[in-house]
Homo-oligomer: A and B are copies of this chain.
Amino acid sequence: MTAREKLLKKFNDGLHICVGLDTDINKIPEFLREKPNALLEFNKAIIEATKSETAAYKINLAFYESLGQEGLLQMEETIKLIPDDIAVIGDAKRGDIGNTSKMYAKSLFDHFKFDCSTLHGYMGIDSLSPFFEYKDKLHFVLCLTSNPGAQDFEKLKLESGKFLYQEVLDRVKEWNTENNLGIVFGATNDEELKANVGNFGDLIVLLPGIGAQKGNLEEVIKAFRNVDSNNYLINISRGIIYAGNDENFAEIAREALISYNYKIKDLTIT
């Protein structure tokens, strides 16, 4: 199954939440911190508890890299624990000149076996195409992000009348000849989402910003429902994995996820 097929199958089953494994040694339950491979133990419990209810997992490489080899080894083991029919996003936001991007792509897909990447498009098509060449994978290019700094450059108006993020959107659609691309569009941008959702075409949209970043779930669902699109993947990291912080943290994470799934179900049928 391609990454796109894995995602579409989950969307079809009504699952749209991606569980973000931003696993931070300082935020996991205290009783786990002293254990060897604490991140892996934490992730293992979370995956076991959430795998039947999640649309995908997103692994934020920074949280593992910051621990050095030890962290990356635990990331590698985490990826192996995820069932094959669930897409795993390697959230590393890479993007460099061609021969370097080729190396990053090799690392993400050949070495770590991720299904999807997240990419910085600033440097243009030749910085992205080494990723796009992995046709069975899915590549989310940063379009409009969920953080306040999206104002600085992403929302600048171009001479053409478009905003920069809209130009990025248009180019990504143009580059999507293999139907293996997507965009990152922050869920904190209600107005921009409403204004642009009709222009997303076949792209799969990864929406961070719900939960700790206070994006509005209802507005997101409504926006996609209004254009009859099912191609959205809402990432929630801290709001799920740190919902609980004692022995039953995994069960509480599962409940948090299920509660989001119910909310989405309610919002899509009413």
- Chain A residues 77 to 119 lying within 8 A of chain B, measured CB to CB, are 93-101, 103-104, 106-107, 110-111
Identify the closest chain B residue to A62 (Cβ): B103
Pick the contact of A122 from B104, B142, B148 — CB < 8 Å? Answer: B142
Chain A: interface residue total (CB-CB under 8 A): 60
B149 contacts A126, CB within 8 Å?
yes
Task: Choose, from A5-13, A34-42, A154-162, the stretch at the interface.
Answer: A154-162
Name A residues whose Cβ lies closer than 8 Å to a Cβ of B.
Answer: 22, 24, 60, 62-63, 65-69, 72-73, 76, 93-101, 103-104, 106-107, 110-111, 120-128, 142, 145-154, 156-161, 164, 167-168, 171, 208, 213
A153 touches B126 (CB 8 A): no
Jot down 22 A-B pairs with beta carbons below 8 A, ordered by A.
A63-B103, A66-B106, A66-B111, A68-B107, A93-B94, A97-B146, A97-B147, A121-B122, A121-B152, A122-B153, A122-B154, A124-B149, A124-B153, A125-B152, A126-B149, A127-B149, A153-B171, A156-B158, A156-B159, A156-B164, A159-B159, A164-B164
Q: Give the residue of B69, B149, B157 whose beta carbon is less than 8 angstroms from that of A159.
A: B157
Supposing A69-B73, A72-B68, A159-B157 touch, asked if A148 and B126 sit within 8 A by C-beta, the answer is yes
**In the bound complex, do residue A104 and residue B154 qualify as a contact, i.e. CB atoms below 8 Å apart?**
no
In the complex, are the beta carbons of B66 and A107 less than 8 A apart?
A: yes
Question: Other than the known A60-B103, A159-B159, A159-B161, what 17 A-B pairs have Cβ atoms closer than 8 Å?
Answer: A63-B100, A63-B103, A65-B107, A66-B111, A67-B111, A68-B111, A72-B72, A93-B96, A120-B120, A120-B122, A122-B122, A122-B145, A123-B150, A124-B150, A124-B153, A127-B145, A153-B168
